[in-house]
Amino acid sequence: MARLPRLTLPGHLHHVIQRGNNRQSIFQDREDFETMLGLLADNALRHGVAVHAYVLMDNHFHLLVTPSTLEGLPQMMQAVGRRYVQYFNRRHARTGTLWEGRYRSTVLQPERYLLPCMVYLDLNPVRAGLVVHAVDYPWSSHAHWRGVRNDRLLTPHALYWALGNTPFAREAAYAALVQAGIGSLEQTALTSSVLSGWALGGPEFIEELQRQTLRRVMQGQPGRPRSKKILQT
């Protein structure tokens, strides 16, 4: 069966993951992490992609983004991926592929999943046993949203601003969300959606998404696919 194209829609929230080939390390030291963050910042700006959250792990990374154009996210990921591989292979005297194929992504309903997905990313290093507290991990967006440091890569989402009327109130509210964590069902839903490419949200959100694209946004029941005529109504 032919592989579905990635679901990419301008103006919508996307969860993105890129893995190292055969789970190999893609970051070996501070310079590697900093190089990736620089490439992401430069290319997000160049291609009109707002980055709301990220976490860089040793063999993969996650992004939570909103592209402003249809081609912005693919172009950003292509540019970052190509330039980082060139840098990494040259610096570490290696050749060949670094990535596990193409990046994976999906669309999330922001009202339901923006903040849970930010928490999910922030707690990745904690779940991996790298740190005890999310704020201690240097390669995620958590410290920025806690007011510990300023990160030029990041753009606040309106739902983060809605956490409070002052920076202190927002930072405290977000810290409380991370402290509370997310449930296993929500964590599983976020993981499976980005790996499968199916959109994640409520029925009305999914229905509205489907009106905007001919690509199926959710795994359907067995049977004949909906016609293009129906999808365009």
- Model pLDDT for residues 29-80, shown as the tens digit of each residue: 999 999 999 999 999 999 999 999 999 999 999 999 999 999 999 999 999 9
Write down the pLDDT at residue 221: 41
Write down the pLDDT at residue 126: 97
Q: How confident is the model at residue 164 (pLDDT cuts 50, 70, 90)?
A: very high
Enumerate domains of the chain plus CATH numbers. 13-198 (3.30.70.1290)
Rounded Cα distance between 136 and 220, Å, is 42
Q: What is the pLDDT of residues 167-199, one digit of tens each?
A: 999 999 999 999 999 999 999 999 999 999 999
Residue percentage of the chain with pLDDT more than 90 = 89
Residue type at 127 in one-letter notation: R
Write down the pLDDT at residue 4: 75
pTM for the full model? 0.92
Q: What is the pLDDT of residues 192-233, one digit of tens each?
A: 999 999 999 999 999 999 999 999 999 874 434 444 443 333
Q: How confident is the model at residue 5 (pLDDT cuts 50, 70, 90)?
A: confident
- For 80, the token pair is 């970052």
Residue percentage of the chain with pLDDT more than 70 = 93
Q: What is the pLDDT of residues 132-141, one digit of tens each?
A: 999 999 999 9
Q: How confident is the model at residue 2 (pLDDT cuts 50, 70, 90)?
A: low
Rounded Cα distance between 146 and 175, Å, is 7
Check residues 20 and 232 and name the one with the higher pLDDT: 20
Write down the pLDDT at residue 111: 97
